[in-house]
Structure 1
Amino acid sequence: MADHLIVTTTTPDRESADRIASSAVARRLAATSQVRGPVASYFWHLGEAGQGEEWVVTFKTTGARYDELEAHICAEHPWDKPEVTGIVLARGSADYLRWMETATAPES
């Protein structure tokens, strides 16, 4: 069985979150994506503490598609060094996991 992942990134606005979420699914790099926000974010950047609002994008994909998804997120993202993290799903319903595999299979 393939690795199944939850991948996340954050964006500074709803428009960029929607663009990255929809284009990743259209390219079959993710089976689905969700956009949530805004969320309050507190961070350390360029030598000082900061805060702001961000939008969270969550993708469901397979390990086989992770590298392409990460590259796509980075290429489409408005930030130079965006957060891109992936967590392996330990469990999931068999039908849902098969659907993820089918939905992210590269087109022949």
Structure 2
Amino acid sequence: MSDYLQVSTATETREVGVRIAKGAVAARLAASGQVIGPVTSVFWHHGAQGSGEEWQVLLYTTAERYPQLERFVLDEHPWTNPQISAVPIVQGSTEYLEWLSRSVEGAEA
């Protein structure tokens, strides 16, 4: 398993995405975050297919910090069942990955 993760969620507005990203970084649950959008999402919801405009939030963290980051996103997200998923970062520059680790550990980044 990778020690590093890219965690994603989606929000209805840019403002909510930025608030979640800023909060996760401030709490040292993520080293950085990006809010991208708007993007078009197509999904199933309450038994019907839907689509809508959303903002994608990407957060970069360690596997060790993932459980706390997931809890934070669930607590801060306005939706009752937001999409939260993580994919491993299987390669990256040594300097970047060391910075990521230091950032979530609270060490001088």
Q: Same fold (TM over 0.5)?
A: yes
1:1-108 matched pairs, under 5 angstroms: 3-106=3-106
Could you say what secondary structure the match of 1:64 adopts? coil
1:50-74 Cα offsets, whole Å, 9 max, x none, are: 1110000001100010000000000
| Aligned-partner Cα distance in 1 for 2:106–2:80 | 28
Q: Extract unaligned runs of 5+ from structure 1.
A: none
Query: Structure 1 counterpart of 2:46, which letter?
Result: L
Report how many aligned residue pairs link the two structures. Answer: 106
The Cα of 1:106 is off from its aligned counterpart by: 4.7
1:49-106 Cα offsets, whole Å, 9 max, x none, are: 1111000000110001000000000000010011110011111111100000000005
Q: Where do 4+ consecutive residues of structure 1 move more than 2 Å?
A: none
| Aligned-partner Cα distance in 2 for 1:37–1:91 | 25
TM-score, L = length of structure 1? 0.95
Q: Extract unaligned runs of 5+ from structure 2.
A: none
Query: Structure 1 counterpart of 2:12, which letter?
Result: P
Could you say what secondary structure the match of 2:49 adopts? strand
Query: Structure 1 counterpart of 2:63, which letter?
Result: G
Percent of pairs with identical residues: 46
TM-score, L = length of structure 2? 0.94
The Cα of 1:15 is off from its aligned counterpart by: 1.1
For the aligned residue pairs, the C-alpha RMSD in angstroms reads 1.1
